[in-house]
DNA sequence: GCGAAAATTGTGACCGGTCACACGGCGCGA
DNA sequence: TCGCGCCGTGTGACCGGTCACAATTTTCGC
């Protein structure tokens, strides 16, 4: 029943055992061997190091027989090119690091997944660095580390910490940001990629209004700015429909925070529809409503945001707005790659989509 | 309503604007400046490059006045040390890459979070590389890329792809694995870190049996071996209690897969208790049960695994086994760091904990 | 069979740091 | 006053690749 850190017994098979052909000298104490370099390979294959370099880079002007011989030697010696050396000499690092305030929340994790996937197919290494907070020290440090680690940066600027980090990135660094809204000051003058959260919120709000609800309440996630885009969209849709605009409840990201908001909302019988800033919040709100004896969607309709993989299996299944964060990540990388390599990329367009499931419906007939 | 890749207008503020003091020459076309090196700083501060190196590394034998002058110049020129050069010259890369088959599933994401956190405080850069499958080509490629990118590796070997990757890591690479079970062949002879899933499964199964259930069914997640440790624990607890051992249902990781398994289970009235390989599966199973008209926990008790942040807010709230994956990630890094730096680390011990909530209870009285 | 173009291969310098070692100046005991 | 050790600093080589260019084959037309 424990997490155990355990070093398998010293001298165990496979650990520090002399490799079959690694040439570099080991210290007498059995230290780790120095890794095989192209010069080692060259010597063993009887060619120059440049030829080895050509072979590993697939350069065309190498005779077939030579190539085969070198390739054989490479396999035999277990040669692996050193990325640091390559980056240093070649100038181009072939790596991105993702700068974010979080790696586990659905949206962030999905963007990261998309970036990794795209980066992998482009043969880029990907790094991750989290910015713990929006405090200047934390931000400065994070940006410094991230920029020294890689040639390029993708900053997830959905929240305060991310936006602060984005603003702190020095010029001359290859950079793409994923932002809430392109007009924010943090994103000024820098290439970005986004999902139109605002429009998505408008759509969701209109949908609820169309169902007959007098108004829609909102439980908001933290944002990168004073008012988030989801909140702004909700407000504007309400205004456009001449519906009352109740105060938004500012929450965090997680279900616990949604639950607390939900308890407050459940106490108010006028609440018949709630738009939540994400699906986790929606889960918490739903639970609070049900605990308070208010049926979902019978008494209260609840709509989420993001369409996490779980939300279709909630009870009731959650009506939500699907946002393709993974694709957003891919797009961010594509844009970055384009700026680094000059090769233009096509960035997919994709629309948020309202997924209507069980948690929403018309307001109660006798209700508000 | 679109994801938009957009390069803010050329010549926009902040993009390629001449830095106030970057010395390196720009091409006439306004290309990006070469970055500032220690030699640039040295020249500007009137010292040798070695002195600059000493300053940035906090070497003690530098006169205070010199240090201040150099530090001033560094700030003025916006110098950032180049990690690649440092790794190349110093031998030690100060970076880990996490090799995993997935980055978004709760367990994996949490381990990654823990690794990142620990690595960050140790001033290590962290990379991520996913292994798409257990196929030899994919594995070989992933391992090759991962090892060339960094000096050290943490392999998440919970599943087939991860275990295959672990087995494929060449000797001489700093490595720690997170494994399902330390006796597996993949982990042989390599340092590892683990959570005792087996015991946790025993505990959960015993708990259900103790509630009065005749037996417990199991919906299994994919595993790194023939039979996973969670499954093995479940089996052994059943055997120890002389309960019948129904065939386990092999599922995937996600709620959809749990839902399918749940439908099958719901059709069998003898099923009164289900232990699920993770919380997502449990969510799907629960939904399937409820759809089939079987109350949870009235007719069927459901227990999950992992304690994801959402599971407390499910309806009904999920009984589950809490596993601290984040701590596991921290432990993995600590162990790795110890092996790299020689400095011994203390690895926390922590126990899986059964969290009893609403989804489990005694079997129906009139039932099986 | 010969010269030139094309195909291959090799050489030297360099990327931006670090290491090992050398060097000048100073305080101090003999 | 001299020699020694220490402090602070500078010099040269090197890490493992890449680039630009030179040198060496081949290939081929005539």
Q: Tokens at residue B244, please?
A: 């019948």
Task: Determine if strand D comes within 7 Å of the CB of A37.
Answer: yes
What does the pLDDT look like over A159-186, one tens digit per residue? 999 999 999 988 778 899 998 877 666 5
Using alpha carbons, select from B137, B143, B214 the residue that is nearest to residue B177: B143
Task: Determine if strand D comes within 7 Å of the CB of B89.
Answer: yes
B19: contact with A, CB 8 A cutoff: yes
pLDDT over 70 (residue A28): no
pLDDT, residue B86, reads: 87
DSSP letter string over A30-99?
A: -PPPPPP-HHHHHHHHTS-HHHHHHHHTT-S-S-HHHHHHHHHHHHHHT----HHHHHHHHS---EEEEE
What does the pLDDT look like over A102-137, one tens digit per residue? 999 999 999 999 999 999 998 899 999 999 999 999
Q: How many CB atoms lie within 10 A of CB A293?
A: 8
Residue of chain B with shortest Cα separation from A279 = B310
pLDDT, residue A40, reads: 93
Measured between alpha carbons, how far is B182 from B194 in angstroms, rounded to an integer? 8
Task: Determine if strand D comes within 7 Å of the CB of A49.
Answer: yes
pLDDT, residue A61, reads: 84
Q: Do A128 and B130 touch (CB under 8 A)?
A: no
**Count of residues in chain A:** 368
pLDDT, residue B3, reads: 43
Q: How many CB atoms lie within 10 A of CB A147?
A: 25
pLDDT, residue B148, reads: 76
The mean pLDDT of A278-303, rounded to a whole number, is 97
What does the pLDDT look like over A320-361, one tens digit per residue? 999 999 999 999 999 998 888 776 776 666 789 999 999 999
Tens place of pLDDT per residue across chain B (368 aa): 334 444 332 222 222 222 222 233 333 333 345 678 999 999 999 999 999 999 998 888 888 889 999 999 999 998 888 888 888 887 777 889 999 999 999 999 999 999 999 999 988 999 999 999 999 999 998 998 888 766 789 999 999 999 999 999 887 788 999 988 776 665 567 888 988 899 999 999 999 999 999 999 999 999 888 888 999 999 999 999 999 999 999 999 999 999 999 999 999 999 999 999 999 999 999 999 999 999 999 999 999 999 999 999 999 999 999 999 999 999 999 999 888 877 777 666 678 999 999 999 999 985 44
Contact in structure between B296 and B314 (CB atoms under 8 Å): no
Q: Do B347 and A35 touch (CB under 8 A)?
A: no
pLDDT, residue B70, reads: 93
Cα A114 to Cα A1, A96, A109, A110, B110: the distances in Å are 35, 13, 9, 6, 18
Domains of chain A: 38-81 (1.10.260.40), 92-195+326-341 (3.40.50.2300), 197-323 (3.40.50.2300)
* pLDDT category of residue A60 using cuts at 50, 70 and 90: confident
pLDDT, residue A227, reads: 84
Signed CA dihedral, A263, A268, A272, A275: sign only = negative
Measured between alpha carbons, how far is B30 from A320 in angstroms, rounded to an integer? 47
B312: contact with A, CB 8 A cutoff: yes
Q: Tokens at residue A282, please?
A: 């929606």
Work out the mean pLDDT of chain A and round it to a whole number: 86
């Amino acid at each position: 029943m424990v997490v155990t850190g355990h070093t398998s017994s010293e001298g165990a098979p496979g650990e520090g055992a002399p490799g079959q052909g690694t040439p570099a000298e080991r210290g007498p104490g059995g230290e780790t061997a120095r890794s095989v370099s192209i010069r080692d390979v060259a010597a063993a294959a009887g060619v120059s190091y440049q030829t080895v370099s050509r072979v590993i880079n697939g350069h065309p002007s190498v005779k077939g027989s030579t190539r085969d011989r070198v390739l054989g030697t490479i396999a035999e010696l277990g040669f692996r090119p050193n990325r640091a050396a390559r980056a240093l000499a070649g100038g181009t690092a072939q790596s991105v690091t993702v700068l974010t305030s979080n790696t586990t929340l659905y949206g962030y994790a999905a963007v990261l997944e998309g970036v990794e996937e795209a980066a992998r197919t482009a043969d880029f290494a990907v790094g991750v660095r989290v910015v713990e907070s929006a405090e200047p020290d934390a931000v400065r440090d994070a940006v410094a580390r991230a920029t020294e680690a890689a040639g390029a940066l993708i900053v997830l600027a959905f929240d305060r910490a991310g936006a602060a980090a984005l603003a702190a990135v020095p010029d001359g660094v290859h950079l793409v940001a994923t932002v809430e809204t392109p007009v924010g000051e943090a994103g000024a003058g820098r290439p970005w990629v986004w999902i139109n959260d605002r429009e998505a919120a408008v759509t969701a709000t209109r949908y609820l209004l169309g169902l007959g609800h007098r108004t829609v309440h909102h439980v908001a996630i933290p944002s990168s700015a004073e008012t988030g885009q989801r909140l702004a969209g909700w407000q504007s849709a309400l205004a456009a429909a001449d519906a009352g605009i109740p105060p938004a409840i500012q929450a965090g990201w997680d279900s616990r925070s949604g639950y607390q908001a939900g308890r407050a909302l459940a106490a108010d019988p006028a609440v018949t529809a709630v738009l939540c800033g994400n699906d986790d919040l929606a889960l918490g709100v739903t639970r609070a409503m049900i605990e308070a004896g208010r049926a979902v969607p019978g008494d209260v309709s609840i709509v989420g945001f993001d369409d996490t993989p779980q939300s279709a299996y909630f009870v009731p299944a959650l009506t939500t707005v699907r946002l393709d964060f993974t694709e957003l990540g891919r797009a961010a990388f594509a844009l970055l790659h384009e700026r680094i390599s000059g090769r233009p990329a096509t960035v997919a367009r994709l629309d948020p989509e309202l997924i209507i499931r069980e948690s929403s419906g018309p307001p109660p007939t006798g209700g508000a």
